[in-house]
Amino acid sequence: MRLPAARGPITAALFDRLASPPDDGPLEAGTGSAAVLADCDFQLALFACYELHYQGFDDVDDGWEWQPSLLAARALLERRFERALARAVPRPPLDGPQGVRRALNELVAADEGPSLSRFLARHADRAQFREFVVHRSIYHLKEADPHTWAIPRLAGGPKAALVEIQADEYGGGRREGMHSELFRATMRGLGLDDSYGAYLERVPGVTLAVSNAMSLFGLHRRLRGALVGHLAALEMTSSLPNRRYGDALRRLGGDDEAVRFYDEHVQADAVHEQVAAHDLCGGFARAHPSLAGDVLYGAACALELERRWAEHVLARWERGATSLTPSAGGAAAGTVARGAR
């Protein structure tokens, strides 16, 4: 993956520096839009900073990963992102650490976000499903990696629970079973480019924010409670939507190999949600009662960002427009939806 095209003054300044050897000069983090959670320029800049801790960019010196000047700029972006999340997501009430599992169930049950999975299962055409997969590729091609940052930051039962979940995500040690590899098969089945980061230029800020929240929580030990709560929310809201995604892809002509990613999540996440809610989050809250509220907050952030993303996608489709952004060279062939039916 190479650096994408800049989307505004923040990324223009940042990418110009990243294209050069690491240095100690101050990096401009910019001010950007007040609508941080949907700002493409802001979210892409933060995503690029985080990506240096994952697969990186072929045209960026790896020395930038821990360069103090870049970390200082990233910290400014993170503070703005954290403030935006705090404004958008009220901290859910919690009656003591012993009530975390019940509170997680209540939080998920009360979620009233739009059902993108139901629309895909019943109404979406193939072009719209392809767009959906393009959005999801930003996370699914590195699925589980952000939450894995928590493993060395946990101990005892919660650590064992997280390892149990993550081992399944990584295919139990078999490359062909890794969820990221299964997703590549889905992309190939839809005629999409399955290379890592291929569609980074095509996704809007709200899609990047979903991924950035995981990295924010994962890369800061102080936010490990939010990270395990975030993972629990994903697992607890996964099985039924993935069943619908699989049904949608079959309806649209997807073969067994293309659909396997969704079928795997129907089975695996039905188990993972119990492990995540009880053993991981419940055990973590008992071990760290002062951080129990962070667990619920992380889960609430996951649900809120998913809601905003789904609203963006459905609103664009209802207008007969694409939910993706134009690339620097124009829209990529075959990724523009033909409108909601």
Q: What is the pLDDT of residues 230-266, one digit of tens each?
A: 999 999 999 999 999 999 999 999 999 999 999 999 9
Look over the chain and give the mean of its residue pLDDT values, rounded to a whole number: 93
The amino acid at residue 204 is P
Token pair belonging to 108:
């998920």
| Helix (H) or strand (E) run with residue 67 in it | none
Tell me: do 145 and 108 sit in the same domain: yes
As a whole number of angstroms, the distance between CA 151 and CA 168 comes to 14
Q: Does any domain span residue 125?
A: yes
Tell me: do 146 and 285 sit in the same domain: yes
Q: Which DSSP category does 76 fall into?
A: H
Q: Does any domain span residue 324?
A: no
Token pair belonging to 325:
């952004």
Q: Which of 88, 107, 131 is the last residue of a domain?
A: 88
Tell me: do 56 and 149 sit in the same domain: no
pLDDT value, residue 328: 61
Q: Does any domain span residue 340?
A: no
Q: Does any domain span residue 2?
A: no
Residue 53: strand, helix, or coil: coil
Tell me: do 162 and 304 sit in the same domain: yes
Q: Does any domain span residue 4?
A: no
Angle between helices 156-169 and 224-236 (to 10 degrees): 50
Token pair belonging to 212:
């950035």
Tell me: do 59 and 156 sit in the same domain: no
Tell me: do 124 and 259 sit in the same domain: yes
Tell me: do 272 and 156 sit in the same domain: yes
Q: Please state the three-class secondary structure of 243-308 as a single string.
A: HHHHHHHHHCCCCHHHHHHHHHHHHHHHHHHHHHHHHHHHHHHHHCHHHHHHHHHHHHHHHHHHHH
The amino acid at residue 114 is P
Backbone angles phi, psi at 225, to 5 degrees: -65, -45
Residue 155, pLDDT > 90, answer yes
Q: Could you give the number of structural domains in the chain?
A: 2
pLDDT digits 0-9 by tens, 119-153: 999 999 999 999 999 999 999 999 999 999 999 99
Q: Give burial (CB, 10 Å; 0-12/13-18/19+) of 120.
A: buried
Q: Give the residue numbers spanning the domain of 128.
A: 97-318
pLDDT digits 0-9 by tens, 202-238: 999 999 999 999 999 999 999 999 999 999 999 999 9
Q: Please report where in the chains the tokens 């119990």 appear, as a residue.
A: 274
What are the distances in angstroms from CA 72 to CA 34, 181, 200?
20, 34, 24
Q: Which of 88, 112, 135 is the last residue of a domain?
A: 88
pLDDT value, residue 335: 45
Q: Which of 44, 68, 88 is the last residue of a domain?
A: 88
Q: Does any domain span residue 237?
A: yes
Q: Are 132 and 313 in contact (CB under 8 A)?
A: yes
Tell me: do 105 and 38 sit in the same domain: no
**Please, where are the H alpha helices in the chain?**
9-18, 40-51, 68-88, 100-110, 116-122, 126-140, 145-148, 156-169, 179-189, 205-218, 224-236, 239-251, 256-274, 283-287, 292-318
Tell me: do 214 and 166 sit in the same domain: yes
Tell me: do 102 and 74 sit in the same domain: no
Tell me: do 150 and 289 sit in the same domain: yes
In degrees, rounded to 5, the angle at the alpha carbon of residue 166 between the alpha carbons of residues 162 and 111 is 75
